[in-house]
């Protein structure tokens, strides 16, 4: 049950984040929304690797090498989530820099003010 | 071989290395960047060559020394190698192109470019789905950086919108990936492929992955963000965004679609087609060049994606077809964006500035041809194979939609090209940067080279190895020579080819070849009157003749279709050269391409996808076996051919195109080009005979079409004020006669049609040259502005006189022979009503011809024309040759027709005409040309002498020896007797010339345009709205899939 | 405007509800595996022998999925470069930036001097031990950069030696690529960590090139974050 709860939490975070990003016109709030959604994605990612009753995939004294296959959880999602976090961070930084640039251009952070390009 | 991973290592290593270069050493940093890109391109190219030759095997590259799926692996096969070459070469050329911008922003921007190209390569190479995600994100971020190279301030907003959408895409992708991993226990694409996903169950994960990849392909209508980037980014980068990013994203999607399994293909087809059609229609309303190219780009990627959806039926040809379209698009679109960077204005007409440099015009034309899928470029071969595969498996709707979309795309691309050739721009010519032009030329060369390669791989003949085509292309190199030298070469080429091939022709081919090749050479004599170099005339002209020469000798359906397209392209450029030719050339190419697509569909249907398809035996075979598709094949082909014969309903392009063409071009496109359609119809009725849809006999429909064309063409001709337009409408009428004769399906009817081929060529060429000569001297084509030219231009008068006698079918010239055959033919048929129409058309023909000669040569001479001279001698010479030919043909029709008569006899097994000496006998009477000639000659001389003797008593007065009233006319032309010459007839039959057909086609285009204008308002420009649209798209497709799965 | 807002919100709500049903079916259809799947099992069984790393996640990140990690580092590199480009075009006049700030307090300045060496050391500890304990190059690098942030907070007008940061960033990235290529030359393939001896399992100097790579990653990530901070700090409004 635990993974489902974590997963549902992750999905709720994603939907909440997206809702924020789609309804707030302020660019900074949109970015915050996406950050929340990214976090939700990461929660979902980690929850998929979880196996009930197992431990972290570090083969120190707690987990003998020989028993590893039966004692540890799936390490792959953990590796993936690290990559996903870093990438999410990169994109967020870039969006913030863009937001700054947009603000400098028009002294506004309202996304509906940047519609010269259309049709 | 250098491992392909070095493409990644070199790109990345150099990007990092640039950090060590001092900020002020921008030149060095740039050199380093270009060197790295060159090495990457070389590695990719090396693999392409080696894999194509088979000297190496496709390779799997392991990382971490561990077998997949436990470590990430890369794979390079032929498809990967090709795409890597395209991507890296685009990056290399773009770097050269963006040199100034890159140096302005410094080494950081160069690193970003390197990472971009590296990541695109990685996307192509990787076989791991999460690794795919990483490369995707790299591309997203690098795109966000490179958008800033633009000096357009709006680009920042476009970049932000892109990032917003990418966030949604990456959320979907990650969730899809992790659940795919959970379902499969592997992230390796080949592992996923081993267990195909159905549309249910675990498929939701695969759905999310696929949707994320599809969204990267900018599907319509969730693609506003991409269009904004296309419009505002640096054109050098737009080239990468379209050519390299689009290509890589498509390949990534293809990899996963293949892995997902065949159940997903229909969905991909629908999304692809929707995008292809939607974006193309929306592009119609674009007036910004880069946005227009963006729409086209999106549409083309959609097309390729639709092809991805056909991979189940394409089999081994899949890479050839999908790759052909994809790579052609990449080269063409990159080239077009690079050209757009040379043009200072953003309006479509601003491209007129390119006329300062013929090389760029040639490049523009080539790129447009590549996009539209014309020969000799890869898209052409791909389109051919694709249509055959689709026809072979009964996917007719997909065929129809693809062809419709392609036609719309041809519409706006050729309109765009027409603007560049004919419009004027307000922009000042800035001078073209040599290095940027060099980049465009590199893309141009690549496009042609690809055409050669694809032609070589194709199972069909390589068009770039055919002598006539090469001969035509030779004139590109010869352009710097003076026109007269080129003219001599052209004439020698035409006659020489005819001479060389003469032995292989059967009588039918012989007649067409004589008219098209030798006839073409005669018309070219008139071209000697042009001075200077006449840039851009000989290449299209010779392409048209090359197409015609190949058409006659076509053995297979491919030969025929390729020749048809070649002659269409050539003639389009030729018509576009006319003074006011722009709109007419556009409608010409649209009708022609529409017709060509019908022909393509017809051939594909006939062959049921099996190539090569022998034209004659193949068509006869399906007619004999009376397969259910046969009448549809007949109908498709017939309508296709009739776009060239300009039969009523499909004729609206002709009057303008012929009337506005240059003096020596009008006879080519009228006297010769129209015959291509007739040749096609000949082949069709010869091989397939009578076909019925339901109870309707299609040849009877043709009879009707021919009769109505003959009648209405004539009626419309009599109301023209413009002499060349009059002749043009008369062509519709004349070709109507030919179609009519052909469709009668009897011996004499066919003979008649053939006689029209020769006659119409001679007198229409002659008349067009004569009127052209008059136009040269008077500066007008309006007949009421002329008059009394008989004494000033006696030779021209003679040729018009002879032409009219021949054409109106009065004795003694060959037109009479034609009439005579004609009445024989209809007597033998039992279609009464069309017969009546044809009978009526006879006198109508006389009316407009009478007007032509009467108003130009008789009546009062205009004051301003008193000092006119005879037409230029080079225009008169071919006319006199035609006069002689007409006289000879009148006396000795047997010399051409007897053999053909025998040949036709082999089809009908009868011999209704008896050729005895100089007389021809039929069941209804006999015709002795010599006797007729003698009798007429005697009568003519007698009347002449009588008139002359009466003229002795006449009193000579000066022209203005009459009394004027004091009134000054408000519209001077209304006082001229020649103005509205046939007003009484207009009252009587004017309803016949109501422009119903023009209105119809106008309504079609208007509807498309207003749909486009309405729909494009979807793209509000608001980044948040775009994000909503992306989600709507995903959810909508999800619901459709759910509905489809249940 | 309000009506526009609510309609937008309604559309978004409906859309997300529909998307939510898809997520719902993913959640309800999910059941945790009873045993490791074959990929995970392979890692659990073979990591010690093949890579010599105690931390299986690290082995995956640095070796088995090393190409991802290289891409990840590149993401940060790109972000740093682009943020510099984005903000560089609207740079404040020299010497003007930061001047609007009040000087930071004595406490912060002194605290920084005391904490900075510790923070840097802690960061280094995290990435050097990445193959043994939780942690690694990214975490360590982020800690390093936090030290830099502290420095900036303590003295907003301060300038880092930009050249040093860029050189660290470039050299560590370059060496990372070169180590990857060395794997092709002397071991099983790109980014194979066995170019160095695997050493004894559980020791700090073990697991082949993993500690080396993680050190490079740590330095690079630290440098990249610092350079992003620096770009942000240099803007006029900072």
Q: Output the 3-class SS for B907-950.
A: HHCCCCCEEECCEEEECCEEECHHHHHHHHHHHHHHHHHHHHHH
Yes or no, beta carbons of B228 and A117 under 8 Å apart: yes
- Exposed/middle/buried for B577, CB within 10 Å: 0-12, 13-18, 19+? buried
Q: How far apart are CA B340 and CA B332, in angstroms?
A: 12
Yes or no, beta carbons of B144 and A84 under 8 Å apart: no
CA of B14 vs chain C CAs: smallest distance (Å)? 8
Q: How far apart are CA B654 and CA B575, in angstroms?
A: 10
Contact list in A for residue C91 (CB cut-off 8 A) is: none
Q: Which CATH number fits domain A2-56+65-113: 3.30.70.2200, 1.10.287.3510, 3.10.20.340, 2.60.40.10?
A: 1.10.287.3510
CB-based contact B178:A45 (threshold 8 Å): yes
Q: Which residues of B817-833 are buried (b: 16+ CB within 10 A; e: fewer)?
A: bbbbbbbbbbebbebee
Q: Which two tokens stand for residue B688?
A: 């397939």
* Range B996-1003, long-range pairs (CB < 8 A, 24+ positions): B997/B648, B997/B649, B997/B651, B997/B652, B998/B652, B1001/B587, B1001/B652
Quick one: pLDDT at residue C4? 54
CB-based contact C210:C62 (threshold 8 Å): yes
Contact list in C for residue A91 (CB cut-off 8 A) is: 79
Quick one: pLDDT at residue A58? 84
Phi, psi of B661 (to 5 degrees): -65, 165
Q: Is A60 on the interface with C (CB under 8 A)?
A: yes
Yes or no, beta carbons of C189 and B62 under 8 Å apart: yes
Yes or no, beta carbons of C85 and B5 under 8 Å apart: no
Quick one: pLDDT at residue C51? 85
Mean pLDDT along residues A22-41? 94
DSSP for C23-83 reads: HHHHHHT----SS--HHHHHHHHHHHHHH--SBHHHHIIIIITHHHHHHHHHHHHHHHHHH
Yes or no, beta carbons of C71 and B182 under 8 Å apart: no
A22: nearest CA partner in chain B: B1024
Q: Is C152 on the interface with B (CB under 8 A)?
A: no
Q: Which residues of B213-249 are buried (b: 16+ CB within 10 A; e: fewer)?
A: bbbbbbbbbbbbbbbbbbbbbbbbbbbbbbbbbbbbb
- Please list the rounded mean pLDDT of every run of 10 residues in chain B (1046 residues): 91 91 89 96 95 92 86 93 95 94 90 95 94 94 90 88 94 93 88 71 81 92 91 93 93 91 90 95 93 95 94 90 94 95 92 92 95 93 94 93 95 94 86 92 96 92 92 94 95 95 90 93 93 91 96 94 95 92 92 95 92 90 89 94 91 91 92 94 91 88 93 91 92 92 87 86 92 92 86 91 81 72 75 83 86 86 84 92 85 71 82 74 76 83 88 67 54 69 81 84 91 90 90 91 73
Contact list in A for residue C13 (CB cut-off 8 A) is: 19
For residue B926, is it left (φ>0), alpha (ψ between -120 and 50) or beta? beta
CB-based contact B624:B585 (threshold 8 Å): no
Given the cut 0.90, state whether the ipTM is greater than it: yes
A50: nearest CA partner in chain B: B182
Collect all residues with Cβ–Cβ distance below 8 Å to B55 and sequence separation of at least 6: none
Residue A42: asked if its preceding bond is cis (omega within 30°), the reply is no
Cα-based distances in Å from C228 to B14, B452, B989, C68, C232: 21, 49, 82, 22, 6
Contact list in A for residue C30 (CB cut-off 8 A) is: 3-4, 7, 48
SS3 B813: coil
Cα-based distances in Å from B578 to A65, B541, B664, B667: 84, 13, 11, 13
- Exposed/middle/buried for B648, CB within 10 Å: 0-12, 13-18, 19+? buried
3-state secondary structure B480-516: CCCHHHHHHHHHHHHHHHHHHHHHHCCHHHHHHHHHH
Mutation target vs A (from B160, B168, B205, B295; most A CBs, 10 A cutoff): B160
Q: How far apart are CA B733 and CA B737, in angstroms?
A: 7
pTM for the full model?
0.93
For the beta carbon of residue B881, count every other beta carbon within 10 angstroms. Answer: 16
* Pairing verdict, β B73-76 and B914-916: unpaired
CA of A59 vs chain C CAs: smallest distance (Å)? 5
Collect all residues with Cβ–Cβ distance below 8 Å to B279 and sequence separation of at least 6: B220, B223, B295, B296, B298, B299, B302
Q: Which residue, C132, C134, C144, C214, is CA-closest to C172?
A: C214
Q: Which residue, B881, B915, B918, B886, is CA-closest to B901?
A: B915
Yes or no, beta carbons of C12 and A22 under 8 Å apart: yes
Q: How far apart are CA B100 and CA B103, in angstroms?
A: 5
CA of C104 vs chain B CAs: smallest distance (Å)? 32
A 78-107 residues with CB below 8 A of C? 78-80, 82-83, 86-87, 89-91, 93-94, 97-98, 100-101, 104
Smallest Cβ–Cβ distance between C19 and the set B71, B109, B1035 belongs to B1035
For the beta carbon of residue B448, count every other beta carbon within 10 angstroms. Answer: 16
Angle between helices B674-688 and B630-645 (to 10 degrees): 160
Phi, psi of A110 (to 5 degrees): -85, 120
CA of B1019 vs chain A CAs: smallest distance (Å)? 5
Alpha helices for chain C (secondary structure H): 2-28, 38-51, 56-59, 66-88, 106-128, 137-154, 162-186, 210-234
Q: Is A46 on the interface with C (CB under 8 A)?
A: no
Smallest Cβ–Cβ distance between B134 and the set A37, A83, A116 belongs to A83
Q: How far apart are CA B536 and CA B527, in angstroms?
A: 14
| pLDDT band for position A118 (cuts 50, 70, 90) | confident
Smallest Cβ–Cβ distance between B178 and the set A18, A77, A99 belongs to A77
Q: Which partners does chain C have (≥3 C-beta pairs < 8 Å)? A: A, B
Quick one: pLDDT at residue C30? 84
Q: How far apart are CA C76 and CA C227, in angstroms?
A: 10
CA of A59 vs chain B CAs: smallest distance (Å)? 19
Q: Which residue, B323, B79, B308, B138, is CA-closest to B214?
A: B308
Yes or no, beta carbons of B153 and A44 under 8 Å apart: no
CB-based contact B462:B455 (threshold 8 Å): yes
| Mean pLDDT score of chain C | 83
Q: Which residue, A8, C18, A12, is CA-closest to B1041?
A: C18
Q: How far apart are CA B653 and CA B672, in angstroms?
A: 16
* Pairing verdict, β B914-916 and B696-697: unpaired
Q: How far apart are CA B822 and CA B826, in angstroms?
A: 6
CA of A110 vs chain B CAs: smallest distance (Å)? 10
Yes or no, beta carbons of A87 and C75 under 8 Å apart: yes
Q: Which two tokens stand for residue B604?
A: 């594909």
CA of C31 vs chain A CAs: smallest distance (Å)? 8
Quick one: pLDDT at residue B963? 47
Complete edge-to-edge strand list for the sheet that includes strand B925-927: B914-916, B919-922, B925-927
What are the pLDDT digits (tens) for B494-522? 999 999 999 999 888 999 999 999 999 99
Q: Is A43 on the interface with B (CB under 8 A)?
A: no
Yes or no, beta carbons of C133 and A8 under 8 Å apart: no
Quick one: pLDDT at residue B974? 64
Q: How far apart are CA C51 and CA C201, in angstroms?
A: 9
Yes or no, beta carbons of A111 and B153 under 8 Å apart: no
SS3 B24: coil
Residue B925 pairs in a beta bridge with: B922
CA of B1022 vs chain A CAs: smallest distance (Å)? 5
Yes or no, beta carbons of A75 and C57 under 8 Å apart: yes
CA of C61 vs chain A CAs: smallest distance (Å)? 6
Quick one: pLDDT at residue C237? 55
Yes or no, beta carbons of B135 and C71 under 8 Å apart: yes
Yes or no, beta carbons of B72 and C78 under 8 Å apart: no
Mean pLDDT along residues C69-93? 82
Angle at B616 between CA B564 and CA B678, to 5 degrees: 45
Smallest Cβ–Cβ distance between C20 and the set A15, A72, A86 belongs to A15
Q: Which two tokens stand for residue B494?
A: 């035409």
Contact list in A for residue C47 (CB cut-off 8 A) is: 59, 68
Dihedral, CA of residue B355, residue B357, residue B359 and residue B363, to nearest 10: -50
Quick one: pLDDT at residue C238? 44
What are the pLDDT digits (tens) for B301-320? 999 999 999 999 998 889 99
Q: How far apart are CA B80 and CA C191, in angstroms?
A: 22
Cα-based distances in Å from B630 to B310, B330, B610, C13: 25, 38, 15, 55
Angle at B838 between CA B833 and CA B840, to 5 degrees: 100
Quick one: pLDDT at residue B967? 53
C24: nearest CA partner in chain B: B204
Yes or no, beta carbons of B64 and C43 under 8 Å apart: no
For the beta carbon of residue B1038, count every other beta carbon within 10 angstroms. Answer: 18
Q: Which partners does chain B have (≥3 C-beta pairs < 8 Å)? A: A, C
Contact list in B for residue C187 (CB cut-off 8 A) is: 65
Q: How far apart are CA C16 and CA A21, in angstroms?
A: 12
How far, in whole angstroms, is CA B434 from its chain's centroid? 30
CB-based contact B227:B291 (threshold 8 Å): yes
Mean pLDDT along residues C116-133? 88
Cα-based distances in Å from B744 to B632, B685, B709, B882: 20, 10, 15, 29
Helices then strands, counting H and E runs in chain B, come out as: 44, 7
Phi, psi of A61 (to 5 degrees): -60, -25
Quick one: pLDDT at residue C1? 43
CA of A27 vs chain C CAs: smallest distance (Å)? 15
Q: Which two tokens stand for residue B810?
A: 């009065």
SS3 B377: coil
């Amino acid at each position: 049950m635990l993974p489902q709860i974590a997963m549902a939490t992750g999905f709720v975070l994603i939907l909440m984040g997206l809702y924020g990003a789609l309804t707030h016109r302020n660019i900074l709030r949109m970015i915050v929304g996406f950050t929340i959604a990214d976090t939700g994605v990461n929660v979902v990612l980690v929850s998929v690797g979880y196996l009930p009753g197992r431990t972290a995939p570090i083969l120190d004294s707690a987990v003998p090498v020989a028993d590893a296959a039966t004692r540890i959880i799936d390490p792959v999602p953990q590796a993936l989530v690290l990559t996903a976090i870093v990438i999410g961070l990169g994109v967020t930084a870039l969006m913030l820099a863009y937001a700054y640039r947009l603000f400098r251009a028009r002294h506004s952070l309202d996304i509906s003010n940047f519609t010269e390009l259309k049709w | 071989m250098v491992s392909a991973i070095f493409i990644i290592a070199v790109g990345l290593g150099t990007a990092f290395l640039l950090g060590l270069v001092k900020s002020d050493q921008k030149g060095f940093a740039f050199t380093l960047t270009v060197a790295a890109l060159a090495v990457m391109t070389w590695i990719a190219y090396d693999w392409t060559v080696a894999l194509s030759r088979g000297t190496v095997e496709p390779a799997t590259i392991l990382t971490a020394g561990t077998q997949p799926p436990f470590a990430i692996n890369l794979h390079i096969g032929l498809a990967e190698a090709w795409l890597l070459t395209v991507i890296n070469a685009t990056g290399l050329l773009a770097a050269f192109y963006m040199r100034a911008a890159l140096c302005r922003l410094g080494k950081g921007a160069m690193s970003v470019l390197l990472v971009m190209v590296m990541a695109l390569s990685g996307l192509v190479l990787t076989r791991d789905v999460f690794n795919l995600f990483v490369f995707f994100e790299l591309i997203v971020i690098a795109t966000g950086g490179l958008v800033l190279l633009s000096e357009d301030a709006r680009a920042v907003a476009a970049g932000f919108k892109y990032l917003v959408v990418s966030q949604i895409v990456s959320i979907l992708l990650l969730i899809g990936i992790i659940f795919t991993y959970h379902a499969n226990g592997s992230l390796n694409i080949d592992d996923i492929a081993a267990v195909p996903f159905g549309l249910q169950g675990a498929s939701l994960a695969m759905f999310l992955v696929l949707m994320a990849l599809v969204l990267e392909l900018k599907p319509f209508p969730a693609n506003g963000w991409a269009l904004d980037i296309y419009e505002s980014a640096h054109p050098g980068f737009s080239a990468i965004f379209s050519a390299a990013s689009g290509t890589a994203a498509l390949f990534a999607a293809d990899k996963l679609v293949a892995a997902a399994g065949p159940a997903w293909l229909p969905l991909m087809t629908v999304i692809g087609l929707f995008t292809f059609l939607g974006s193309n229609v929306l592009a119609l309303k674009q007036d910004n060049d880069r946005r227009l190219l963006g729409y086209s780009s999106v549409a083309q990627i959609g097309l390729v994606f639709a092809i991805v959806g056909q991979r189940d039926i394409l089999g081994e040809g899949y890479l050839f077809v999908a790759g052909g379209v994809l790579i052609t698009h990449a080269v063409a679109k990159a080239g077009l964006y690079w050209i757009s960077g040379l043009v200072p204005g953003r309006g479509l007409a601003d491209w007129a500035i390119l006329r300062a440099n013929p090389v760029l015009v040639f490049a523009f034309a080539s790129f447009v041809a590549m996009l539209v899928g014309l020969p000799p470029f890869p898209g052409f071969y791909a389109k051919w194979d694709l249509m055959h595969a689709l026809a072979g498996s009964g996917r007719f709707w997909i065929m129809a939609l693809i062809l419709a979309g392609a036609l719309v795309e041809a519409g706006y691309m050729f309109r765009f090209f027409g603007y560049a050739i004919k419009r004027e721009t307000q922009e000042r010519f800035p001078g073209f940067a040599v290095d940027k032009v060099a980049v465009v030329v590199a893309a141009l060369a690549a496009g042609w080279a690809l055409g050669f390669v694809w032609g070589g791989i194709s199972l069909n003949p390589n068009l770039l190895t055919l002598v006539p085509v090469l001969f035509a292309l030779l004139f590109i190199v010869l352009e710097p020579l003076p026109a007269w030298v080129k003219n001599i070469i052209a004439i020698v080429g035409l006659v020489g080819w005819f001479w060389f091939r003469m032995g292989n022709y059967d009588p039918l081919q012989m007649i067409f070849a004589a008219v098209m090749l030798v006839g073409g050479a005669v018309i070219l004599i008139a071209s000697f009157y042009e001075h200077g170099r006449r840039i851009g005339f000989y290449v299209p002209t010779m392409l048209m003749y090359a197409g015609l020469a190949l058409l006659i000798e076509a053995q297979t359906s491919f030969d025929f279709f390729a020749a048809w397209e070649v002659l269409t392209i050539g003639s389009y450029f030729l018509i576009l050269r006319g003074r006011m030719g722009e709109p007419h050339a556009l409608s010409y190419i649209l009708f022609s391409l529409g017709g060509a697509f019908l022909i393509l569909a017809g051939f594909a249907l006939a062959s049921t996808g099996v190539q090569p398809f022998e034209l004659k035996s193949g068509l006869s075979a399906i007619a004999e076996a009376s397969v259910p598709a046969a009448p549809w094949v007949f109908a498709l082909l017939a309508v296709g051919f009739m776009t060239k014969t300009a039969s009523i309903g499909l004729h609206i392009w002709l009057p303008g195109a012929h009337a506005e063409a240059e003096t020596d071009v009008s006879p080519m496109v009228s006297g010769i080009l129209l015959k291509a359609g007739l040749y096609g119809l000949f082949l069709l009725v010869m091989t397939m005979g009578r076909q019925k849809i339901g109870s309707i006999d299609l040849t009877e429909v043709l009879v009707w079409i021919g009769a109505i064309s003959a009648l209405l063409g004539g009626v419309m001709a009599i109301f023209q004020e413009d002499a060349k337009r009059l002749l043009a409408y008369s062509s519709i009428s004349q070709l109507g006669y030919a179609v009519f004769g052909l469709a009668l399906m009897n011996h004499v009817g066919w003979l008649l049609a053939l006689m029209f081929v020769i006659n119409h060529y001679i007198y229409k060429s002659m008349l067009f040259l004569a009127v052209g000569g008059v136009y040269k001297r008077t500066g007008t084509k309006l007949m009421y502005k002329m008059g009394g030219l008989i004494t000033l231009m006696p030779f021209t008068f003679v040729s018009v006189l002879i032409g009219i006698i021949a054409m109106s079918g009065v004795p003694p010239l060959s037109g009479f022979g034609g009439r005579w055959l004609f009445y024989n033919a209809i007597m033998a048929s039992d279609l009464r009503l069309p017969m009546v129409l044809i009978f009526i058309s006879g006198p109508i023909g006389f009316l407009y011809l009478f007007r032509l000669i009467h108003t130009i040569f008789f009546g009062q001479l205009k004051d301003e024309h008193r000092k006119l001279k005879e037409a230029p001698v080079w225009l008169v010479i071919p006319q006199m040759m035609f006069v002689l030919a007409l006289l000879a043909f009148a006396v000795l029709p047997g010399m051409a027709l007897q053999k053909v008569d025998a040949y036709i006899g082999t089809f009908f097994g009868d011999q209704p005409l008896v050729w005895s000496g100089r007389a021809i006998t039929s069941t209804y009477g006999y015709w002795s040309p010599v006797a007729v000639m003698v009798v007429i000659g005697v009568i003519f001389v007698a009347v002449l002498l009588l008139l002359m003797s009466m003229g002795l008593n006449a009193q000579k007065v000066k022209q203005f020896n009459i009394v004027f009233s004091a009134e000054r006319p408000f519209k001077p032309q209304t006082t001229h007797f020649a103005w509205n010459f046939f007003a009484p007839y207009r009252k009587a039959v004017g309803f016949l010339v109501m422009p119903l057909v023009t209105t119809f086609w106008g309504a079609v285009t208007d509807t498309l345009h207003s749909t486009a204008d309405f729909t494009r308002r979807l793209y509000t420009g608001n980044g948040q709205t775009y994000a909503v649209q992306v989600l709507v798209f995903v959810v909508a497709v999800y619901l459709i899939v759910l509905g489809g799965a249940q | 405007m309000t009506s526009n807002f609510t309609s937008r919100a309604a559309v978004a709500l409906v859309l997300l509800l529909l998307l939510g049903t898809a997520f719902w079916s993913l959640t309800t259809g999910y059941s945790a595996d009873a045993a490791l799947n074959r990929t995970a099992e392979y890692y659990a069984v073979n990591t010690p022998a093949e890579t010599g790393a105690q931390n299986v996640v690290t082995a995956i990140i640095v070796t088995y999925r090393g190409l991802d990690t290289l891409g990840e580092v590149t993401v940060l590199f790109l972000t740093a470069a682009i943020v510099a480009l984005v903000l560089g075009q609207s740079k404040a006049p020299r010497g003007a930036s930061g001047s609007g700030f009040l000087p930071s307090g004595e406490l912060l300045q002194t605290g920084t001097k005391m904490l900075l060496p510790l923070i840097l050391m802690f960061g280094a500890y995290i990435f050097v031990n990445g193959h043994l304990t939780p942690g690694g190059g990214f975490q360590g690098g982020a800690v390093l950069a936090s030290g830099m942030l502290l420095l900036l907070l303590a003295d907003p007008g301060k300038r880092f030696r930009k050249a040093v940061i860029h050189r660290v960033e470039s050299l560590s990235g370059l060496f990372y690529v070169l180590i990857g290529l060395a794997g092709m030359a002397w071991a099983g393939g790109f980014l194979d960590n066995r170019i160095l001896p695997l050493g004894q399992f559980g020791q700090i100097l073990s697991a082949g090139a993993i500690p080396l790579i993680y050190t490079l990653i740590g330095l690079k990530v630290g440098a990249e974050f610092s350079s992003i901070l620096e770009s942000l700090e240099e803007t006029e409004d900072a």
